[in-house]
Amino acid sequence: MDYKNKKKTLNNKLIISLVSVILLVVVSIGVTINIVLENTFADYITKNNRKEINSLITSLEEEYKNNQWNIYNIKEIGKVSIDKGRIIELYDNKENLVWGAREYDNKMCHQTMDGIKNNMKNMNPKWDGEYSVEKYNLTNEYGDYIGYVNVGSYGAFYYMDEEVDFLNHINKLIVIIAIITIVITIIIAILISNNISKPIEKVSEMTKLIGEGGYTNKIEYNSNIKEIDTLINSINDLESKLEEQEKLRKRLTTDVSHELRTPLTSIQTHLEAILDGIWEPTNDRLSSINEEVIRLTSLVNQLKDLAKFDSDESKLNLTQVNLGQLIQNIIYNNQGKALEKNIEIKSSLEEIESNLDKEKISQLVVNLLSNAIRYTNEGGYIYLRSYKKDDAIKIHVEDNGVGIPDESLKYIFERFYRVDESRSKKTGGIGVGLTISKSIVNLHRGSIEVTSKVGEGTEFIVTIPVIDLKDI
């Protein structure tokens, strides 16, 4: 599947997910509102019907005056009752029919009751309400019995046409609101989807370019999503680091070929001159060739050491080591190089017994001290310190040499990185000493830091935790 199809799938999934969630919420809210509304409306109708029956009884009692019923007004009351779903029959105190709705308009009564029945069936197919008649006694203002009224209806709760229309109108309104909400949700979902997928598309394109070796372009996109911004910044940082690594790799080819070619050319020139009889194989000539062989061997050994650390084949061989004595011996071995530049090596070394890899720690200190001698001007100084602090061993190598530019500090532990190309060619090396040093420190579960100012000097600080052989 190509990327564009993946992008469409991502957009579709985001849209479908958002719309599904909102649709579920809208439907849930709509159903809830509908249920609550119907229940509340049903309670209202029930209470209202009871009030209307009480009002009906009061109205009928008021139409009895001077021992006579006002038939005209009773007929109007009866017609209103039919419209409200109640069939009344009024009897006097001698049980004579005064007025009856069915006698007045039986067809109208049937139509009204059938309408109510249809309404209730439409609203609730399981409705099985039955028509019932309730009897209410009537009294005059003095409390004397004046007759009674039979009220026929489908109980205290039923829907008239107006009420059904009201509920249908509300339901239609809920549906319209739901549709509008869904449409708005789809639009918002598309905007959110694009807002998320667009930067991801750019990141994907950039990673594809990086995979093809293109490290010059950065993602120029500002997202209002924190995680997306973090992702973009991480990809840009990765691009910068890979670009720098690519430059280092390209430079490595030139540097290694130069470092190897120089001693090989010198050896070849000397040997050809000796074989052609131009030079005599004197001790000086042979000594010069030997120096070039030693230099060549040193370069090869550096590459071999780096390869060993890269392949994870290097393991610690821990033994009880007197760190102070170890560093002091290394100082003695390097004083000759320091004296050639009139550099003073000072030290403050505590007697620390600890479980360390003696060979690797020696290589670490030699690398740091050699660098300090190499990049400290004549008449300068180097100061080495070692001490124990809390549960860690500290090693400081400080000099007042040429220093390291701020922009180079973050790269000095990278493979084949050299601060000053021209200066490095004069001093030798291919830029792997500090890389090896950092690997040694990492093997000991420690850390190495560097602080430096150009023209003032550099200080390396190594921190190695005290290692218990039981933890290995």
Residues 296 and 395 in one domain: no
Domain boundary at 262, 289, 310, which?
Answer: 310
Nearest to 159 by CA among 50, 77, 49, 51: 49
Helices then strands, each counted (H, E), the chain: 11, 13
Across the range 331-348, mean pLDDT stands at 92
Residue, of 446 and 301, whose pLDDT is higher: 446
Same domain, residue pair 407 and 264: no
Give CA 349 to chain center in angstroms: 48
Q: How confident is the model at residue 213 (pLDDT cuts 50, 70, 90)?
A: low
Q: What pLDDT is recorded for position 430?
A: 61
Does residue 138 sit in the same domain as residue 283?
no
CATH code assigned at 146: 3.30.450
- pLDDT of 400 reads 94
Q: Is residue 143 part of a domain?
A: yes
Q: Average pLDDT in the 201-213 region?
A: 69
Q: What is the CATH number of the domain that holds 374?
A: 3.30.565.10
Same domain, 284 and 353: no
Tell me: pLDDT of 179 over 90: no
Mean pLDDT of the chain, nearest integer: 82
136-158 per-position pLDDT tens digit? 999 988 889 999 999 998 887 77
Report pLDDT for 139.
92
Q: Which two tokens stand for residue 73?
A: 């007004």
Q: Indicate whether 162 and 235 sit together in one domain.
A: no
Question: Is 160 contained in some domain?
Answer: yes
Q: Are strands 344-349 and 381-389 parallel, antiparallel or unpaired?
A: parallel
Q: Which residue has the higher pLDDT, 342 or 19?
A: 342
Domain count, the chain: 3
Amino acid 3: pLDDT: 45
How confident is the model over 451-467, as a mean pLDDT?
93
Same structural domain for residues 265 and 371?
Answer: no
Token pair listed for 8: 């469409």
**116 lies in which domain range?**
3-171
The model carries a pTM of: 0.51
**pLDDT, mean of residues 56-70:** 90
Evaluate whether 155 touches 132 at the Cβ level (below 8 Å): yes
The answer to whether position 180 is within a domain reads no
What pLDDT shows up at residue 252?
65
What is the separation of C-alpha 160 from the centre of its chain, rounded to a whole number of angstroms? 57
Q: Is 241 a residue whose pLDDT tops 80?
A: no
Same domain, 133 and 30: yes
Average pLDDT (378-398) is 94
Higher pLDDT among residues 167 and 206, named by residue? 167
For residues 322 and 238, state if they share a domain.
no
The residue among 326 and 123 whose pLDDT is bigger is: 326
345 DSSP β-pair partners = 382
Residue 471 reports pLDDT greater than 60: no
- In this structure, the answer to whether residues 301 and 348 fall within a common structural domain is no
For residue 392, the one-letter residue type is A
Where a domain ends, among 310, 341, 367? 310
Highest mean pLDDT among 30-34, 237-241, 284-288, 360-364: 360-364
Q: Is 409 a domain residue?
A: yes
**Which tokens hold the place of 429?**
């090396």
Among 277, 310, 343, the domain-final residue is 310
On whether residue 270 sits in a domain, the answer given is yes
Q: Cα 75–80–82 angle (5° rounding)?
A: 95
Q: Has residue 4 got a pLDDT over 60?
A: no
Q: How confident is the model at residue 215 (pLDDT cuts 50, 70, 90)?
A: low
Q: pLDDT category, 450, cuts 50, 70, 90?
A: very high
Q: Give 327: exposed, middle or buried? Use CB within 10 Å, 0-12, 13-18, 19+.
A: buried
Contact between 159 and 104 (Cβ < 8 Å): no
pLDDT at 401: 92
Question: What is residue 145's predicted lDDT score, i.e. its pLDDT?
Answer: 92
Question: CA-based Rg of the chain, rounded to a whole angstrom?
Answer: 50
Contact partners, residue 301, CB within 8 Å, separation at least 6: none
Say whether both 134 and 159 belong to one domain. yes
What is the percent of the chain with per-residue pLDDT over 70, rounded to a whole number?
Answer: 85
What is the residue type of 3? Y
Q: Has residue 196 been placed in a domain?
A: no
CA distance 113 to 19: 45
Buried b or exposed e, range 2-30, using 16+ CB within 10 angstroms? eeeeebeeebeebbeebbeebbeebeeeb
Query: Do 361 and 421 fall into the same domain?
Result: yes
How confident is residue 305, by pLDDT bands cut at 50, 70 and 90?
Answer: confident
CATH of the domain at 252: 1.10.287.130
Q: Are 256 and 363 contained in the same domain?
A: no
Joined tokens for residue 321 = 């080591």
Mean pLDDT in residue range 411-425: 66
Q: Is residue 186 part of a domain?
A: no
**Two tokens at 292?**
């070039």
**Structural domain contains residue 127:** yes
